[in-house]
């Protein structure tokens, strides 16, 4: 196929895919607020009782203080996933906490919460 036909075909294909993705609404990332985090965590862990919720500044994750530890709700594309935190690696900075779970499927998450309060709750 000559380049004069191949290159425009590829460019038009990319544009059509991008437009259809935007038009169908698939490009929107999930966000979470405190009530949404409680509801989503209750679906996956109905036995858990949530005491308090701390939401990240960008709305992509929430840290939950439970009766028996802590939980995490985080965005994965346009959906929300939940995890009970078991021995997370926690570090602090001026803006909050960095949480890294030993579970390879859980991303490293930054949360703009009070580090002193949440470090005690996380047992770190």
Residues 58 and 99 sit within 8 Å (Cβ to Cβ): no
**What are 59-68's pLDDT values in tens digits?**
889 999 998 8
> In DSSP terms, which residues pair with 99 in a beta bridge?
90, 109
Residues 82 and 116 sit within 8 Å (Cβ to Cβ): no
**What are 27-41's pLDDT values in tens digits?**
677 889 999 999 999
Q: So where are the chain's domains?
A: 1-28, 34-122
- What gap in Å lies between CA 21 and CA 15, rounded to an integer? 10
What are the mean pLDDT values of the chain's consecutive 10-residue runs (124 residues total)? 90 91 74 93 94 88 90 89 88 86 85 81 71
Residues 32 and 43 sit within 8 Å (Cβ to Cβ): no
Q: Which two tokens stand for residue 81?
A: 């996933």
């Amino acid at each position: 196929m000559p380049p004069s036909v191949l290159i425009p075909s590829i460019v038009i294909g990319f544009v059509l895919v991008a437009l259809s993705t935007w038009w169908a609404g698939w490009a929107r990332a999930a966000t979470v607020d405190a009530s949404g985090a409680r509801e989503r965590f209750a679906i996956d862990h109905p036995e858990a009782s949530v005491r308090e919720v701390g939401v990240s500044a960008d709305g992509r994750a929430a840290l939950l203080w439970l009766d028996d530890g802590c939980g995490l709700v985080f965005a994965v594309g346009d959906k929300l996933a939940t995890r009970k935190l078991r021995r997370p690696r926690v570090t602090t900075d001026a803006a909050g906490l960095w949480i890294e779970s030993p579970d390879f499927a859980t991303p490293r998450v930054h949360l703009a919460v009070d580090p002193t309060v949440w470090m005690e709750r996380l047992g770190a």
